[in-house]
Structure 1
Amino acid sequence: MGKKISVIIPTYCRPALLTECLKTLAQQHFDRDAFEVIVVSDGPDLLTKQVVVSWKHTSLLDIVYMPLDAKKGPAAARNAGWKLAKGPLVAFTDDDTRPDPFWLQQIWEAWAGEPLMAFTGRLIVPLPPAPTDYEWNTAQLETARFITANCVCTREALEQTGGFDERFEMAWREDSDLEFRLLQQNIPIRHLPDAIVVHPVRAAGWGVSLREQRKAMFNALLYKKFPKLYRKWIHPRPLWEYYGMIIFCLVMLGALLSGAGSVALLALLGWMILLTAFIRRRLAHTSRAWPHVVEMIITSVLIPFLSVYWNLYGAWRYKVLYW
């Protein structure tokens, strides 16, 4: 029997998470011989290889391990995976997800054999009663229009669009880039609410929101490629609040150095108003435990500077007027 669906999983040095994902794929209510799993390591990774080999020996999955020769990012890993795919449908998920037992069955039943077609499934992010800011932000993936944790393309659609743009070197905006190219080439994207993937939130250390700001450089690349779609579906306007906080800080510093105390006080007041609004917004749906509140206060002071820096760095790197 030929393969119907090829499942592509990019990963790197996360064998425990990958193992849990593979367990759910082994429990699919879908003919085992009708799908394959291609695990692509974003660089040589002995532990990941051992996990895949151990699963191959169980005969519970038709599974393949492929390492990239160097770390290039999940977009490059996914491209390497789908180019090996034997099935006419290529399903993408991540190593930290848990596909529903009927995930592949729902996908296959939805496809009518169209050569150029894409699907986006439903993502569920379980949250505790009082989530952290990081957990809450991760949960917003549930409302994403097209996300690589749960999407499917025909192989012909991937060949026509060229797959993922490997300039997106981190897990950020590469899914929207593929979505926009599908739309640009009039390839239909159908939502499958019953094709479910669960995405638990991974544990994150203190100040994770600061490290996350580096991803903002890829906003500029997506904007350069699709300015109208970017403004329509991603950010309808620049983050004026961030620029406002930075300007107030610079004015306050300049006023203090020049001895203009009243101007410095007014700038401090403006900065405090914007900062307080930002902190309140981050705490609106999240935990009020004091360690979390302290983290929100400290990181909220720094985030505007980091975000604007990485956005402007992206504008310089990709040679586009973007802020």
Structure 2
Amino acid sequence: MKKEMKISVVIPTYRRPELLMECIHALARQHFDRGDFEVLVVSDGPDAATKKVVSSWKATGLLQLKYLCLQHKGGPAAARNKGWKNAAGKIIAFTDDDCRPDPEWLNRIWQHHRQDEDLVAYTGKVVVPMPEPGEITDHAYNTAHLSEAEFITANCACTKRALELTGGFDERFTMAWREDSDLEFNFLRHGIPIRYLPVARVVHPVRKSSWGSSLWDQRKGIFNALLFRKYPSLYKTRIKQAPPLKYYIMAGSLVAFMICLLLGNLPAAALLLGCWIVTWLYFTGQRLLNTSRQPSHMLEMLYTSAFIPLLSIYWHFYGSIKYRAFFL
């Protein structure tokens, strides 16, 4: 008789073979019977390098490893759905390719699972090692907030039955943003308990980011609107994220400055430009308060702080219109 699989680990990934290699290496060090868990790596689109990494690990025989691939890029939510739907485990554990599960991770999850519970979810502890104080970038500072998240796919698990009941991840979340909160709220709506397991730990190192990447990150604001549309009450009480007042002051000052300049009202234009500069420098100073003062980083903060408010407001209203969810 075939032995029942206890846990399936699902890892979405795309074109990050070096990070994936380290994640799989951490799973190979689990203090958990290798016959009791499997690892499903799901590539978010065709990726030869990722397939090669999985094949090389499969050849070692150290893990029960499967490689799955989406035909077209659909985002981590779609990749995770493909993973759990092809999983054999009673419990589905999720982590990301840039994470390092603690050797006791799976063991702690299984120890705290009551075998008579078919509908339950778990959220573990995410540890973000930080650089030396003088080397903390804005990106690292924001990444550190992951350790405070109440439910995050870098470290969560649930019964497969819970995913079948709720439908799993909403694939309209095509970026790595809010798809985990959406799953959490879906569990809550169905009355599925979510238990916090601080002993189930995953390390989430701060990975390198490209210069000015915070500008691209503003696009994630689209999915705040989608989450608000689906769960307005939970969003208001647990997320509460929208462009802050200073963003509107900066954007409004800049637009009014241009209008006054076109109308030839130079005194008013000068006053409005001064207002924008003061707010811009204040915003930059806030971002530098607990982060690096290296010249390159300071220049990046000055540059990105000038554009973040406009981009944040733009994507916020873009999402609000797209999903018909208007909120401030």
Normalised to the residue count of structure 2, the TM-score between the two structures is: 0.96
Are the aligned partners of 1:251 and 1:267 in contact in 2 as well (CA < 8 Å)? Answer: yes
Q: Using the alignment, how far apart are the partners of 2:242 and 2:320 within structure 1?
A: 15
SS where residue 38 of structure 2 aligns?
A: strand
CA deviations on 1:123-155 (whole Å, 9 max, x unpaired) are 011111131101111111110110000000111
Q: Report the secondary structure of 1:111's partner residue.
A: coil
Deviations 1:182-208 (A, max 9, x none): 111111111111111011111111101
Post-superposition Cα deviations, 1:283-306, rounded to whole Å, max 9, x if no partner, equal 111001111111101110011111
- What secondary structure sits across from 2:35 in the alignment? helix
Look up the match of 2:220.
215
Give 1:268 deviation, angstroms.
2.2
Runs of 4 or more above 6 Å deviation:
none
The answer for the alignment partner of 2:181 in structure 1 is 176
Counterpart AA for 1:105: N
Equivalents in 2 of 1:255, 1:15: separation in Å?
52
The superposition leaves residues 187-231 of structure 1 with CA deviations (integer Å, 9 ceiling, x where unpaired) of 111111111101111111110111111111111111111112112
| Matched AA of 2:118 | P
Q: How much does 1:236 deviate? A: 5.6
Determine the C-alpha separation between the residues in 1 that align with 2:85 and 2:28. Answer: 23
Amino acid at match of 1:127: M
Cα separation, 1, equivalents of 2:241 and 2:45: 36
Q: Give the residue type in structure 1 aligned to 2:136.
A: P
Equivalent residue, structure 2, for 1:225: 230
Measure, in 2, the Cα distance between the counterparts of 1:52 and 1:301. 42
State whether structure 2 residue 96 is matched by structure 1 residue 94: yes
Shift of 1:50: 1.5
Q: Does the CA-based 8 Å contact 2:75-2:174 persist in structure 1? A: yes
Deviation at 1:76, TM superposition (A): 0.4
Is 2:118 the partner of 1:120? no
Q: Of 265, 269, 280, which residue of structure 2 is paired with 1:264?
A: 269
Q: Percent identity?
A: 55
CA contact (8 A) 1:231 1:237 kept: no
Structure 1: distance between partners of 2:279 and 2:239: 22
In the alignment, residue 207 of structure 1 is paired with which amino acid?
G
CA-based RMSD of the aligned residues comes to 1.2
1:187 aligned partner: 192
Deviation at 1:51, TM superposition (A): 1.2
User: How far 1:270 moved relative to its partner?
Assistant: 2.4
User: What is the aligned counterpart of 1:274 among 279, 297, 302?
Assistant: 279
In the alignment, which residue of structure 1 is the partner of 2:254? 249
Question: Which amino acid is 1:11 matched to?
Answer: T
Structure 1, unaligned stretches of length 5 or more?
Answer: none
**Distance apart, 1:315 and its partner CA:** 1.4
User: Where do 5+ consecutive residues of structure 2 fail to align?
Assistant: none
Preserved contact between residue 243 and residue 312 of structure 2 (Cα < 8 Å): no
Partners in 1 of 2:225 and 2:255 — Cα distance? 24
State the 1:243 CA deviation: 1.3
Which AA in structure 2 matches 1:159?
A: E
| Structure 2: distance between partners of 1:12 and 1:236 | 28
1:186 is paired with a residue of what secondary structure? coil
Question: Contact between 1:35 and 1:62, CA under 8 Å: does it hold in 2?
Answer: yes
Partner of 1:75: 77
Residue 159 (structure 1) aligns with? 164
Is structure 2 residue 53 aligned with structure 1 residue 51? Answer: yes
Q: How does 1:140-155 map to 2 (within 5 A)?
A: 140-155=145-160
- Tell me if the contact between 1:96 and 1:200 (Cα under 8 Å) persists in the aligned partners: yes
Decide whether the 8 Å contact of 2:242 with 2:316 is kept in 1. Answer: no
Contact persistence 2:253–2:272 (CA under 8 A):
yes
Could you tell me which residue of structure 2 aligns to residue 139 of structure 1? 144
How many residues in Structure 1 have an aligned counterpart in Structure 2? 323
**Alignment match, 1:34:** 36
Matching residue's letter, 1:274:
T
Distance 2:48 2:299 in 1: 40
Aligned AA (1:174): E
Moved more, 233-242 or 220-229: 233-242
Give the aligned residue type for 1:69: Q
Q: Secondary structure at the match of 1:3?
A: coil
- CA–CA distance in structure 1, aligned partners of residues 203 and 197 of structure 2: 14
